[in-house]
Each structure stands twice: as C-alpha cells, then as structure tokens.
C-alpha cells in the first residue's frame, strides 16, 4: 500500500473474491506507519555576545501562515556544532541536549565562529540547518604608554605625546579620550577636536578645534561647582603630539 500518511494508524481487513462473489471479511488489524524526523531547523540565533562567549537560541522562530499541523513528533533533542576561525576547519560538537538556549564558552575574543544545528525526535534526526556565523566582542584596550609633555609649555597650550597601548583589545584603536582637570573651564576654551593616529604616537592640531553649543551649556552649569574633570575626544591622527 502506498500514498499513506506518516505516523498514522490504519485499520485493515481483507476478503476473498471469486466468480460467485465476495467471501466474509477477515479479522481487522491495526497498522501504524512510521513517523518522520524533524525538518531541518532554523540556524541558531545570537542572543548575546561577549568577549569569551556567545549565547545562542536553538528554537526555531514560529512561522506565520502555516495552519496545517506537522506530521512529525515533537523535537526531543538538539545537536549544535561549531567551526572555529576564518579557515574552514571541521565542525565539532559543542552541545547535545533538550535545552533551547546554550552558552558557548571558552572562545577567543574578537574571533569568528560558525554554527549549524540539527534536531531529533523519536523517529530520527533532521538534516543540518544552514550555517550561520557570529563574532565575539573585543576587550577594552590597555593603558596608553608614555604620556608626557613635549617641549616647552606655552601660555595657551601644551604639547603632549603618548604611544598606543600594547594591547588593542582585539580591535583597532579608533579614538582616544584625554581628560583635563582645571579649576575653571571657560566656554571660550572648551573644544572638541578630531585627530588621526600615527605609528609612534598621536597629535591634535589646534587649528581644527570646533566649539559645540550644547557642550558650552553644560560647561556653564559645571563652572559653579568648582574643579571639574572634562573629557576631550581625540580621533586618529598621523602625527605624534597633542596641543591643548
């Protein structure tokens, strides 16, 4: 018999027929067809990334517009495999269980990992899902080195110099924040300025300073509070010094 439905019970009986007609029916029997393994699941989805871990959800998203119930039995187990690095190495198993979220730990910072997922029920294992890739977060950079004054101090500016940190945290340094402590910071002196990074250090050119009206309002409110520590944002530069 063909064209039956999976995981379905059928009642069967048989009777003999000759030229005179049909004989009596046999006793009925019950036959149940075998069920289907699950369909390939959706790829894992990222819930949260860290510097050494990735939190994944393994549960497929609900699909709208599908009113017909699936003939498959409920999923009882998920298997998650991971491939590490840019080079296409073999996948290795990292999880096998019935939970729908899993925290992959012991990873390297700012590194790419690929994942695939399969699901199992009482009737077998699905095909693997599509492959999806996620990257761990970088660490904050370490401390910049050698902050010092360079040359003579001028009446209205000083020349500062520093070197990049030994450890960039796994991602390129794209900005520096220099803080200055002053008894008062007149609005006319407040500036946010941009700069670019060099091979040996950083420089900020005073000719590129630009005032910011919203920051000036904050400065006015802060002046009455005595000494303040205010951030100065410096972006990448090709030169090794910073004028203030």
Does 175 lie in the same domain as 100? no
Predicted confidence at residue 238, as pLDDT, reads 40
Which CATH number goes with the domain that contains 90? 2.60.40.10
Does 154 lie in the same domain as 121? no
Strand partners, 45: 57
Which is higher by pLDDT, 228 or 153? 153
For residue 80, tell me if it sits in a domain. Answer: yes
Does 151 lie in the same domain as 239? yes
Which is higher by pLDDT, 142 or 226? 142
Q: Tens digit of pLDDT for each residue in 189-218? A: 444 433 333 444 444 443 333 444 454 455
What predicted TM-score, i.e. pTM, was given to this entire model?
Answer: 0.65
For residue 29, tell me if it sits in a domain. Answer: no
- Name every residue whose Cβ is closer than 8 Å to that of residue 189 and which is 6 or more positions away in sequence: none
**Burial group, residue 197, by CB count within 10 angstroms (0-12, 13-18, 19+):** buried
Backbone angles phi, psi at 227, to 5 degrees: -60, 140
- Asked if the model's pLDDT at residue 180 lies above 90, the reply is no
- Asked if the model's pLDDT at residue 99 lies above 80, the reply is yes
For residue 105, tell me if it sits in a domain. Answer: yes
- Name every residue whose Cβ is closer than 8 Å to that of residue 9 and which is 6 or more positions away in sequence: 30, 31, 32
- Asked if the model's pLDDT at residue 83 lies above 70, the reply is yes
For residue 30, tell me if it sits in a domain. Answer: no
Does 160 lie in the same domain as 231? yes
Predicted confidence at residue 202, as pLDDT, reads 47
| Most confident region among 33-37, 99-103, 213-217 by mean pLDDT | 99-103
Predicted confidence at residue 5, as pLDDT, reads 85
For residue 2, tell me if it sits in a domain. Answer: no
For residue 11, tell me if it sits in a domain. Answer: no
């Amino acid at each position: 018999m063909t064209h039956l439905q999976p995981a379905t019970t059928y009642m069967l009986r048989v009777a003999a027929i000759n030229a005179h007609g049909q004989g009596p029916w046999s006793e009925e029997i019950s036959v149940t067809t075998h069920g289907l393994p699950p369909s390939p699941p959706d790829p894992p989805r990222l819930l949260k990334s860290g510097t050494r871990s990735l939190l994944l959800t393994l549960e497929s998203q609900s699909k709208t517009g599908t009113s017909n119930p699936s003939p498959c039995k409920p999923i009882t187990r998920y298997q998650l495999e991971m491939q590490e690095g840019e080079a296409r190495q073999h996948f290795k198993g990292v999880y096998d269980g019935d939970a729908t979220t899993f925290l992959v730990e012991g990873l390297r910072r700012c590194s790419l990992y690929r994942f695939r997922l399969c699901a199992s029920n009482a009737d077998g294992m699905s095909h693997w899902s599509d492959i999806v890739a996620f990257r761990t977060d970088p660490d904050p950079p370490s401390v910049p080195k050698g902050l010092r004054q360079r040359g003579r101090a001028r009446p209205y500016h000083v020349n500062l110099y520093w070197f990049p940190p030994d450890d960039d945290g796994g991602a390129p340094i794209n900005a520096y924040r220099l803080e200055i402590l002053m008894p008062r910071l007149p609005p006319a002196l407040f500036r946010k300025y941009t700069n670019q990074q060099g091979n040996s250090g950083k420089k900020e050119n005073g000719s590129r300073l630009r005032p910011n009206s919203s920051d000036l309002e904050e400065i006015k409110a802060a002046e009455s509070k005595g000494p303040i520590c205010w951030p100065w944002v410096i972006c990448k530069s090709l030169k090794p010094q910073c004028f203030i």
